[in-house]
Structure 1
Amino acid sequence: MKIIISPAKKMNVDTDSLPVDGLPQFLPQTGRLLAALCSMTPRELQALWKCSDSIARLNIERLKSMDLRRGLTPAVLSYEGIQYRYMAPGVMNSRQLQYLRDHLRILSGFYGLLRPFDGVTPYRLEMQAKLEVDGAKDLYAFWGGLLAGQLAKGTSLVLNLASKEYSRAVTAYLPESMVLTCVFGESVGGKVVEKGTMCKMARGQMVRWLAENEIDSPGDITSFSDLGYKFDPKLSNNNLYVFIKGGN
């Protein structure tokens, strides 16, 4: 079983807490993306990033000195979003960290597909960014089936805990029967309503729970009950597990 999650926009540098295992698998492709970004004007970059002036200035400075091979942070410690705070890899024990190595993969517009202890540097490039590189109209076309092909090696199941923006970069190239997507929501008027912040919290908490319990079977995933969520068998099927907050 492989687990896919999204990255986070906010990133930090931590070269001391845990060592990196190596470099990302698709570094040549990342180098081409970096070259494309460096060829753009500040105004073009800010339009691409859709960000404030201060965030644009920060990331333009990052581009000027970006080194893809030195001063790197393990990917799982580099992202600072809500999902990663609830996953809390910094306080995991060695068995739990090994579980992440074996099972977790992070999707990235810039790096493609990251193992949790691949060394990365702070960047800004969302998967849905309209960056034209190598004749591709956007990053989905640039990465194509490359990420899905790598993800599918050695596994028959992909547990999808990523946002739709990121998961579509791989699920479009995988057999439907191979992907199990988890949905975290609330029952409102007979409908399942997903709330962004709560979904991020639940995804991170589930990764932590999976690692703590060394889960490797889809049937065992239904036991997840953290943060008040309960598996709802009536709303679920073989390719979709629905967890309802406050459910019975």
Structure 2
Amino acid sequence: MLIVLSPAKTLDYESEPKIASQTTPEWITESETLVGVLKKKTPKQIQALMGVSDKLAELNHQRYQDWQLPMPPEATRPAILAFKGDVYLGLQADRMTEKQLLFAQDRLRILSGLYGVLRPLDAMLPYRLEMGTALKTRRGKDLYAFWGSRITQSINDQLAVTDCGFLLNLASNEYFRSIQKKHVQAQIIAPVFKDQSNGKYRVISYFAKKARGTMASWVIRNKVKTTAKLVKFAEDGYRYDPDSSTESAPVFLRD
């Protein structure tokens, strides 16, 4: 089972990483091309492009000015330990053993607007570039056009290497759209997490994001490889609901 996750806007480059070994992102030269486009933009243009505050525009403008290859080791961090958003609160990568992190290296992929696809231990410089950003390049009007079939190719290559029959989609719609679903060479499973609110079960964004990370962590820790075992997920009070589930969209409810 291969897992895909979204990245996070919040980053942690302050705490001491628990694992020193890092790998190089597969599409790093493509990242360099994107940075070349971004380096030419002013902070005001960055602000308009990303819809962020003046402060964040200045920060990310400087990040792109500082971005370089080869990446300075002292400025990088393994991707799985760099992201700190809601999903990563559930993932709790900082509590994983070295063996679990190495297992995740084969079984987890983080989709990225700048890097395309990141393995957990891929070295990453700090950045902000959401997949839905309408950044124009020679390849088209946005990042979906820029990445084209490259992300799908990478996912299929890893599915083949690990002999995975399932792609576990724990990414947001914005990021999973970068994968060309009809060309994925495995069954796609996209769990749905619902919490009870006012007597009804519904998807609550914050809780659903955290649950995606929690499920990813559970799959890694337990080396889950089949959908039969996946539906036994019962972390943080969630339970599988067969009545509202389908084969490709198992539903998990929490009271």
Same fold (TM over 0.5): yes
Unpaired runs of 5+ in structure 2? Answer: none
Distance 1:92 1:134, change over 3 A: same
Runs in 1 of length 4+ with deviation above 4 angstroms? 187-192
Instruction: Determine the structure 2 residue equivalent to 1:111.
Output: 115
Instruction: Determine the structure 2 residue equivalent to 1:165.
Output: 174
Unpaired runs of 5+ in structure 1? Answer: none
- The whole-number CA distance in structure 1 between the counterparts of 2:180 and 2:244 is 21
Of the candidates 220, 232, 237, which is equivalent to residue 223 of structure 1?
Answer: 232
Q: Which amino acid counterpart does residue 221 of structure 2 have in structure 1?
A: E
Deviates most, 10-19 or 156-165? 10-19
Instruction: Determine the structure 2 residue equivalent to 1:193.
Output: 202
Alignment partner of 1:64 is 2:73: no
Of the candidates 232, 247, 250, which is equivalent to residue 241 of structure 1?
Answer: 250
Deviates most, 143-152 or 124-133? 143-152
Shift of residue 135, structure 1, vs aligned partner: 3.1
- The whole-number CA distance in structure 2 between the counterparts of 1:158 and 1:207 is 12
Alignment partner of 1:130 is 2:131: no
Distance 1:217 1:244, change over 3 A: same
TM-score (norm 2): 0.90
Secondary structure of 1:47's aligned partner: helix
Q: Quick check: 1:66–1:121 contact (8 Å CA) kept in 2?
A: yes
Q: How does 1:67-146 map to 2 (within 5 A)?
A: 67-68=68-69, 69-70=71-72, 71-146=75-150
Q: Which amino acid counterpart does residue 25 of structure 1 have in structure 2?
A: E
Distance 1:27 1:175, change over 3 A: closer
Residue by residue over 1:24-82, the C-alpha shift from the partner in whole angstroms, topping out at 9 and shown as x without a partner, is 00011101100010111221111111111111111112122113422311000011112
Q: Which amino acid counterpart does residue 91 of structure 1 have in structure 2?
A: R
Question: Please, what is the CA RMSD of the aligned residues?
Answer: 1.9
- The whole-number CA distance in structure 1 between the counterparts of 2:109 and 2:184 is 18
Q: Which amino acid counterpart does residue 21 of structure 1 have in structure 2?
A: Q
Secondary structure of 1:106's aligned partner: strand
Q: Which amino acid counterpart does residue 96 of structure 1 have in structure 2?
A: Q
Q: Quick check: 1:15–1:72 contact (8 Å CA) kept in 2?
A: no
Residue by residue over 1:117-148, the C-alpha shift from the partner in whole angstroms, topping out at 9 and shown as x without a partner, is 00000001000000011231111111111111
TM-score (norm 1): 0.92
Shift of residue 188, structure 1, vs aligned partner: 5.9
Alignment partner of 1:35 is 2:36: yes
Q: Quick check: 2:109–2:117 contact (8 Å CA) kept in 1?
A: yes
Distance 1:16 1:94, change over 3 A: closer
Q: How many residues align?
A: 246
- The whole-number CA distance in structure 1 between the counterparts of 2:168 and 2:93 is 19
Shift of residue 156, structure 1, vs aligned partner: 2.7
Secondary structure of 1:186's aligned partner: strand
Q: Quick check: 2:31–2:114 contact (8 Å CA) kept in 1?
A: yes
Instruction: Determine the structure 1 residue equivalent to 2:212.
Output: 203
- The whole-number CA distance in structure 1 between the counterparts of 2:29 and 2:121 is 18
Q: Quick check: 1:177–1:239 contact (8 Å CA) kept in 2?
A: no
Shift of residue 171, structure 1, vs aligned partner: 4.5
Instruction: Determine the structure 1 residue equivalent to 2:154.
Output: 150
Shift of residue 94, structure 1, vs aligned partner: 2.5
